[in-house]
């Protein structure tokens, strides 16, 4: 039997704000260390920001992302940290999760399904990684595993579903379960929409039951680039039960959610499937000593309101306005009042922004 402390970080990032984005990631790592977290999951593309759009096509962006990754690596002693970034390989660009263990980079898991509907144009910039493919990526003079990988950190096997991977019918999670994974980490950049939190919760719980794993979900937070708003959803689940979830629509740069999960059943399953070793990256991590911890589901009272849709709308727009204002270096809003419903609604939303912030 083994208990492990897992954490998900919701981060309010800005495209190409290298120093700001890295500082938020480092703050999440520091808070996780203070809480004796063993494995920390950060959102998809959190080093660059998700909304870089055609800037992703610039070579300097992925090169700088790797430079920023090098700054993060030393901060990860005695824990496993996973961060999202774009990775260029053989002329194609991929959305990847860099896996860092005890101060060392050990490899990159790559997204296998791209979002190309609604607000998303991922196929314009990225390529979907082929299922089962494993390669090597050169970085700072060393070679690192890249692809459809699982990572065995001491006795814990970790696999990945990156955002859209969990929304498709043929989820990678099923194949990961067959390979004996104990924990699935989901690095996400999933924009807010009505009812989406409930859908995420459904596929997370379904994953824990069908794949017999612990599941960690980490989403972006706030108005990242003016086009989309992220609710900062974070959840940790196991055995068909949510162990911990974080508050949504927060006015903070970093929100950490953690929980202690028992993975004894997964260990037994992994032993039975010891022969399936393809694409397994192994490392030893001297995890921090666990202290007594109380798993917690943090929900605002508004989450249980009969007017949930209206509450979500008000909080999403208020947070979006606040981030737009501060990230554009504006000093406030000028609201023109005509006396009609539209201007009254705008004035109300600005007032809510001030109240919530």
267, 333: one domain: no
The token pair that represents 58 in the structure block: 């610039």
- Based on the fold, state whether residues 191 and 339 are members of the same structural domain: no
**In-domain check, residue 211:** yes
Would residue 255 count as lying in a domain?
yes
C-alpha to C-alpha distance for 199 and 254, rounded to whole angstroms: 23
Rounded CA-CA distance 308/302 in Å is 7
Query: Do 63 and 101 belong together in one domain?
Result: yes
Domain that holds residue 106: 3-283
State residue 294's pLDDT score. Answer: 65
What's the pTM? 0.94
- Same domain? 164 vs 275: yes
| Total number of domains constituting the chain | 2
**265 in any annotated domain:** yes
pLDDT averaged over the chain?
92
Q: Are residues 318 and 231 located together in one domain of the fold?
A: no
Residue range 174-202, pLDDT digits in tens = 999 999 999 999 999 999 999 999 999 99
pLDDT in tens, 257-301: 999 999 864 444 444 454 446 688 888 887 665 555 667 777 777
Give one DSSP letter per residue of 38-52, joined into a string: SEEE--TTTTT-GGG
Do strands 221-223 and 241-245 pair parallel, antiparallel, or not at all (unpaired)?
A: unpaired
Domain identity same for 21 and 121:
yes
**Residue 199's CATH number:** 3.60.110.10
Residue 289 lies inside a defined structural domain of this protein: no
Rounded to an integer, what distance in angstroms lies between the CA atom of residue 341 and that of residue 174? Answer: 50
Residue at 290 is within a domain: no
Alpha-helical (H) ranges within 14-165 are: 18-34, 59-72, 122-125
SS3 at position 247: coil
In this structure, the answer to whether residues 197 and 327 fall within a common structural domain is no
Segment among 201-210, 283-292, 317-326 with least mean pLDDT: 283-292
- The secondary element (H helix, E strand) that includes residue 164 is none
Same-domain status, 251 and 323: no
- The pLDDT tens digits of the residues spanning 63-80 come to 999 999 999 999 999 999
Does 210 share its domain with 307? Answer: no
User: CA 285, CA 267: separation in Å to the nearest integer?
Assistant: 17
Residues 41 and 174 in one domain: yes
């Amino acid at each position: 039997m083994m208990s492990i402390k897992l954490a998900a970080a919701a981060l309010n990032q800005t495209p190409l704000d290298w120093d700001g984005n890295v500082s938020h990631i480092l703050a999440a790592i520091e808070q996780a260390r203070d809480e004796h977290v063993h494995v920390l999951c950060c959102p998809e593309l959190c080093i660059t920001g998700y909304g870089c759009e055609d800037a992703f096509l610039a070579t300097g962006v992925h090169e700088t992302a790797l430079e920023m990754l090098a700054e993060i690596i030393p901060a990860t002693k005695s824990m496993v940290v996973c961060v999202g970034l774009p990775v260029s390989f053989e002329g194609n660009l991929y959305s990847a999760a860099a896996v860092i263990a005890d101060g060392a980079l050990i490899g990159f898991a790559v997204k296998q399904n791209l979002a190309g509907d609604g607000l998303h144009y991922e196929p314009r910039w990225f390529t979907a990684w082929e299922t089962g493919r494993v390669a090597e990526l050169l970085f700072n003079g060393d070679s690192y595993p890249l692809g459809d990988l699982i990572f065995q950190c001491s006795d814990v096997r970790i696999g990945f579903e990156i955002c859209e991977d969990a929304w498709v019918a043929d989820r990678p999670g099923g194949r990961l379960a067959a390979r004996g994974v104990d924990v699935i980490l989901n690095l996400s950049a999933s924009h807010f929409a009505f009812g989406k939190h409930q859908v995420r919760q459904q596929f997370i719980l379904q994953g824990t039951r069908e794949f017999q794993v612990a599941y960690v979900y980490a989403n972006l937070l706030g108005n990242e680039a003016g086009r989309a708003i992220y609710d900062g959803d974070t959840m940790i689940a196991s055995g068909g039960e949510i162990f911990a979830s974080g508050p949504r629509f927060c006015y903070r740069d970093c929100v950490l959610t953690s929980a202690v999960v028992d993975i004894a059943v997964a260990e037994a399953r992994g032993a039975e499937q010891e022969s399936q070793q393809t694409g397994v990256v192994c490392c030893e991590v001297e995890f921090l000593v666990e202290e007594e911890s109380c798993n917690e589901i943090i929900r605002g009272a508004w989450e249980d309101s009969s007017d949930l849709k209206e509450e979500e709308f008000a909080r999403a727009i208020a947070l979006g306005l606040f981030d737009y204002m501060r990230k554009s270096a504006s000093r406030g809003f000028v609201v023109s009042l005509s006396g009609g419903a539209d201007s009254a609604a705008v004035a109300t939303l600005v007032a809510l922004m001030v109240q919530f912030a």
